[in-house]
Structure 1
Amino acid sequence: MSKVRGSVTSVFLACIALSSAAVHASQVANDSRPPAAKAPNIVLILADDLGFSDTSPYGSEIQTPHIASLADMGMQFTNYHTAANCAPARAMLLTGVDSHRNGVPNIPETIPPEQKRFPHYQGTLDPKLNTVADVLQSAGYHTYIAGKWHLGNSPAQLPSSRGFERSFALGATGADNWEDKPYLPIYDRADWYADGKPASLPEKFYSSEFLVDKTIEFIDSNRQDRQPFFAYIPFQAVHIPVQAPQEFTDKYADTYLNGWQALREARQAKLKDLGLIPRDSAMVTMATMGDWDSQTDVQKRYQAKRMAVYAGMVDAMDFHIGRLIAHLKSIDEFDNTVFIFTSDNGSEATGHNNSRDLYGRAIVKFLGYRNDYETLGLKGSMNNIGPSFASAAASPLAFYKFYAGEGGMRVPLIVAGKPLQFNEKRLSKSFSFVTDISPTIIDIAGAAYPDDARKLVIGRSLLPLVKGEVQATYGPDDAVGYELGGNAALFRGDYKLVKITGKIADGQWHLYNIAKDPGETQDLSATMPALHAEMLAQYAQYAQDNHVLEMPDNYNHERQGIINGLNARLPNLRLYGLLIGAALFLIAFAKIIRSRRKH
């Protein structure tokens, strides 16, 4: 009996040994397997007021080798459109929701009081909507922003409450690039916020350098946990004030001496050579473009310097993008990073062609800036490029920022990175829209919108197009509507129905084939009346569905901006008035008392 028990015990122990060995072997096998692939990092780079042809992949003479390197390893879009103004573009980019449904149909600085009474016309992002950062954070991403926000300044509206784990954000429409200083008299301060708290800038500061430094700091703070990151870098470049370090401006000292029309034509020719626009497409001469030859030699030299600073600012932004790329390579994250580069809207034409006239000098002096030739673009300098060079920056397109012409809405878009498995550079000439960016990012991350959030998203993922699985994201009958400040458009297939308002346009509806005629030179309304009427009805339906409000008669965005700015400062102005009045009263009262004492 004892022998039997011994045999059973031996067998039992042998089974345990074999089981332990099997478990150990399984653990060894599991330990030897490569770790699960990490979801790709995503870097969204947003330039501010960058024109369609302001980078070298899009025909520019400005040196942007790092942006070009991204284009070489990805897909370059030639028919991508955005809103013609910053805050509406940013709100649509971050949510995928139409601007009239996300709370930002216009920038708050230019919304007229007749519209401000309505809750969806506040110019701040609806708190009920999910941002792309909300979705990615729920999917396990670190989320960072360093740069311009401009979607609301209350604690609940800042990036720290909208899905961004770390943030250093500018709440205003713009600010100085060299110091902690507002650029418009409507602001008391520059409105910088760090992780939701009011912040100050360091003594040594240049915007493009600082924003990349912050992005690197945020990325490095979580390097060890192997979670992917989403980094959103909305640069200040090249929003006014246009400023750049001297060494970047000096590179373009003689580049623009032939003037704005020559530049516009040179860029158009380069774009044709690159195959980015049709070889036989034409270009209009903008009514706001001045006569270069009527300028004196001194004026030409000054105008060329204005544009040289602008080019230097684009060049500096590219340089610092290169620093970020180099850092990602140094920490072995570059090969697992997808880059998206674009602009919020087309080129900025605010200001006069001659910023040295009496009006220009008075405004600059009032703001505490200077605009002399020698220090143009440096600390303390106010600079912009005016409507003539803005037309060149948008070449070969018509119009610029604020307007619904292609120059205000068609901007660069590059989607690149090794995780997308590009074998060669690709071009896409199919239509795409700013609301497509968030769905694309979420698709790249392998994440998904919450079910209740998806119903308002009108954007479509561009990832199937980028991967070559489809030839177009939108079909020939798919319509996309748009309105901002009375400027309106409806895109459908190759066609665009557009109405441009203001003193530089006729306010009438026109029809263009923007695939063949990106310069919007041939109105097809008379030759294609049925399509014109059909698209007009589709726009009316879009306006009704999205609660688009009519603009007041004679609305002008620049004038409204001044009025709103004065109203915003009115409490202070009233206080100053009361104090001055009280002081005058006391002075007068004191004089009366002294007079009576003498008598």
Structure 2
Amino acid sequence: MCKLKLNSQTVVFLVALTTLLLSTWAAASAAKPNIIVILADDLGYSDIAPYGSEINTPNLDQLAQQGLRFSRYYTTASCAPTRAMLLTGVDSHRAGVANIAEALTPAQSHSPFYRGTLNHNIVTIATLLKDAGYHTNMTGKWHLGYEDPSLMPSQRGFEQTVMMPFSGGDNWTQQAYIPNYRKTLWFENGKEITLPEDFYSSEFIVDKAIKQIEKHRGDKQPFFSYLAFQAVHIPVQAPREYTEKYLNTYQSGWSVLRDNREQAVKDLGLIAQDAPVKTMNTTLDWEGLSAEEKRFNSKRMAVYAGMVDAMDFHIGRLVEYLKAIGEYDNTVIIFTSDNGPEPSDPAVNAGFSLIREHMLGYTSDFETLGERYSWNTIGTSFASAAASPLGHYKFHSGEGGMRVPMIISGPILAEQLQGQISHSKAFVKDLAPTILTIAGTQHPGSEYKGKTIEPQTGKDLLPLLNGGTDTVYNDSDIIAYEIGGNAALIKGDYKITYNRGGQNDSLWHLYNIEQDPGETQAIEKQRPAVFSDLLSEYEIYTRQNGVLPVPEDYNQTVQAGRNGAVKRIKETLANNKGILSLLLLLTAMAIIFFKRRKT
């Protein structure tokens, strides 16, 4: 047996070398910034003060003053597809989430792009960050699959998770908010949990996020935390003390609010002062309402404002915690929304009222509006104001459905950019490669651990953040998306949109969104060559991403309601109980059906 003999000089050298390597590794690990992504739900373009809102958001104000605001950041116009792209950098179709699972049609179910859950040939940034030495945490709404345990965030790269799997949930209790679910489920690290009696969603999500970070504090590893708020998804709910701040704020109505926000957005420099703005044809005449209707509607918006205010307060608690443990200055914080404001107004639908009151256990009483067991929405008119000065809102491919706030702050941001506005285009797919670059790692391409995967197709925004460039998009780059038959494609200063049914004309239109972000003047006849080019680009996009058509009468909200009703009927019949609930459900469906036929 050969024995290795070491003299004293060799031992000293090896010890010194080992010490150097360990200290270098520790320094490199410590140099990696923590990364926090905060995702609001259905937050409109001008719903926070850094984007022109009257709502009090001092903590987001602080992030904006220390960070960079984006005036042209785009998402998809619906939640799960946005979340899929954010966490993967892959187009939502190729990720398996072409639409929310609740709204898929039977004809789409054969396609791997229309699962409503993340495909298994996708690698999340959580997985890659964990590989790179990060602790990975997730709290809040997931909506990317859970019934198969392999779809849960705890199996998609997140080390610690506290999550709600559905499209939305009650903010006070575990009651279901739509018939698709029997109750609002919550899971911690893959196991179902019961919520505390004093649960309020924004507070709970931040409480859990802080506990996750605290668990590994002091081990010198950086962390990635993903906080997905329920604010301000329906049901719109807020603690009374937050709602009361705004009881007198919205008494002049939605049109005045939209005008005020338009001017505030322009004064901030987010869009040009001379940019034209249109009034949506779904905006009702405020002055035509009765005094009681005005009182009720202004409180609906007051609850919405209170919900935003409460979210901001709890974000502030997280920021203060980071400062207290000495990690704030080494933490990159990204704040944004998954899509524009929610326009649905089931409160005025007689069929849904039956379901809401008798099956789901909600009321819409004025005195307790927004509180426990209360149902609240803001409807199309206030949704248009929440998206001001842009047109449209959630589900639609207009700017108000796709363009939302985004703030990025932290040590990677060039000092001269702090408090500034970037007018560069950016897309939700870009966040994944940007986050990986910030962490000092990258996506592996088309293969991961011997398995073929989808490559990322988003752009790295870091050159923009460190001041190396004004934009990462050139005139030939495109941003494209399709959900439920509504579609858009952006190239250079131009955008084509297609919005189906209802208040829309189901035709393609062309806009110059640099000059006309309000999409007031369609110019396809004046720019036929540009129009043809963008339509050709969209056809390529559909072929590359497996886009499937929807039926002529498809409506995403109606399809989701139909799917949920069918699911509940099957469950009721299988359990041989709940006949009264079944009769109520069938009655509600009949009311909805005949009302749709009449309109």
How far apart, in 2, do the equivalents of 1:19 and 1:227 lie? 32
> Is it true that 1:87 corresponds to 2:101 in the alignment?
no
CA drift of 1:452 comes to 2.2
Percent identity of the aligned residues?
A: 50
How do residues 125-204 of structure 1 correspond to structure 2 at under 5 angstroms?
125-153=118-146, 154-204=148-198
Work out whether residues 445 and 456 of structure 2, in 8 Å CA contact, stay in contact via their aligned partners in 1: no
Closer, same or farther: CA 17–119 of 1 in aligned 2, 3 Å: closer
Task: For residue 79 of structure 1, give the secondary structure of its aligned residue in structure 2.
Answer: strand
How far apart, in 2, do the equivalents of 1:21 and 1:232 lie? 45
Letter of the 1:299 counterpart: E
Letter of the 1:492 counterpart: K
How far apart, in 2, do the equivalents of 1:406 and 1:250 lie? 31
Encode CA deviations 1:372-427: one digit per residue, 9 max, x unaligned. 11101111111110111001000011111011111110000111113434243221
Task: For residue 251 of structure 1, give the secondary structure of its aligned residue in structure 2.
Answer: helix
Letter of the 2:444 counterpart: P
How far apart, in 2, do the equivalents of 1:519 and 1:31 lie? 56
Letter of the 1:362 counterpart: L
Letter of the 1:54 counterpart: D
Which of 91, 97, 102 in structure 1 is aligned with 2:95? 102
**Aligned residue for 2:203?**
209
Closer, same or farther: CA 285–225 of 1 in aligned 2, 3 Å: same
**Aligned residue for 1:309?**
303
Which of 437, 452, 465 in structure 1 is aligned with 2:431? 437
How far apart, in 1, do the equivalents of 2:278 and 2:200 lie? 37
Closer, same or farther: CA 556–220 of 1 in aligned 2, 3 Å: same
Letter of the 1:403 counterpart: H
**Aligned residue for 1:68?**
61
CA drift of 1:197 comes to 1.3
* Larger deviation, residues 487-496 vs 358-367: 358-367
**Aligned residue for 2:551?**
552
Which of 241, 248, 257 in structure 2 is aligned with 1:247? 241
How far apart, in 2, do the equivalents of 1:534 and 1:446 lie? 38
Letter of the 2:166 counterpart: A
How do residues 21-420 of structure 1 correspond to structure 2 at under 5 angstroms?
35-36=27-28, 37-153=30-146, 154-351=148-345, 355=347, 361-366=353-358, 367-420=360-413
Task: For residue 446 of structure 2, give the secondary structure of its aligned residue in structure 1.
Answer: helix
CA drift of 1:253 comes to 1.1
Closer, same or farther: CA 225–566 of 1 in aligned 2, 3 Å: same
Unmatched tracts of structure 1, length 5 or more: 1-15, 582-599
Closer, same or farther: CA 298–477 of 1 in aligned 2, 3 Å: same
Closer, same or farther: CA 496–578 of 1 in aligned 2, 3 Å: same
Encode CA deviations 1:158-190: one digit per residue, 9 max, x unaligned. 000000000001111111101122111220121
CA drift of 1:571 comes to 2.3
How far apart, in 2, do the equivalents of 1:22 and 1:482 lie? 59
How far apart, in 2, do the equivalents of 1:580 and 1:305 lie? 36
Work out whether residues 80 and 434 of structure 1, in 8 Å CA contact, stay in contact via their aligned partners in 2: yes
Letter of the 1:521 counterpart: T
How far apart, in 2, do the equivalents of 1:310 and 1:57 lie? 17
Closer, same or farther: CA 257–458 of 1 in aligned 2, 3 Å: same
How far apart, in 2, do the equivalents of 1:398 and 1:432 lie? 19
Q: TM-score, normalised by structure 1?
A: 0.90
Task: For residue 247 of structure 2, give the secondary structure of its aligned residue in structure 1.
Answer: coil
Unmatched tracts of structure 2, length 5 or more: 1-6, 448-452, 581-599
How far apart, in 2, do the equivalents of 1:514 and 1:524 lie? 11
Letter of the 1:109 counterpart: E
Task: For residue 489 of structure 2, give the secondary structure of its aligned residue in structure 1.
Answer: strand
Work out whether residues 114 and 552 of structure 1, in 8 Å CA contact, stay in contact via their aligned partners in 2: no
How do residues 526-537 of structure 1 correspond to structure 2 at under 5 angstroms?
526-537=525-536
Task: For residue 430 of structure 1, give the secondary structure of its aligned residue in structure 2.
Answer: strand
Closer, same or farther: CA 22–456 of 1 in aligned 2, 3 Å: closer
Letter of the 1:40 counterpart: P
Q: CA RMSD in A?
A: 2.3
Work out whether residues 51 and 407 of structure 1, in 8 Å CA contact, stay in contact via their aligned partners in 2: yes
How far apart, in 1, do the equivalents of 2:570 and 2:352 lie? 27
Letter of the 2:313 counterpart: F
Task: For residue 149 of structure 2, give the secondary structure of its aligned residue in structure 1.
Answer: coil
How far apart, in 2, do the equivalents of 1:40 and 1:28 lie? 23
Letter of the 1:298 counterpart: E
CA drift of 1:570 comes to 3.1
How do residues 588-599 of structure 1 correspond to structure 2 at under 5 angstroms?
none
How far apart, in 1, do the equivalents of 2:396 and 2:85 lie? 17
How far apart, in 2, do the equivalents of 1:178 and 1:257 lie? 27
Larger Rg: 1
Letter of the 2:357 counterpart: K
CA drift of 1:522 comes to 1.2
Encode CA deviations 1:316-373: one digit per residue, 9 max, x unaligned. 0000000000000000010100000000000001115xx3675564343122111111
CA drift of 1:481 comes to 1.9
Task: For residue 151 of structure 2, give the secondary structure of its aligned residue in structure 1.
Answer: coil
Q: TM-score, normalised by structure 2?
A: 0.90
How far apart, in 2, do the equivalents of 1:28 and 1:450 lie? 31
How far apart, in 2, do the equivalents of 1:148 and 1:357 lie? 27
* Alignment: residue pair count: 565
How far apart, in 1, do the equivalents of 2:103 and 2:117 lie? 13
| 4+ residue segments displaced more than 4 Å | 16-36, 356-361, 576-581
Encode CA deviations 1:561-590: one digit per residue, 9 max, x unaligned. 121112222322323558979xxxxxxxxx
How far apart, in 1, do the equivalents of 2:571 and 2:22 lie? 68
Encode CA deviations 1:491-515: one digit per residue, 9 max, x unaligned. 1011111111121100111111112
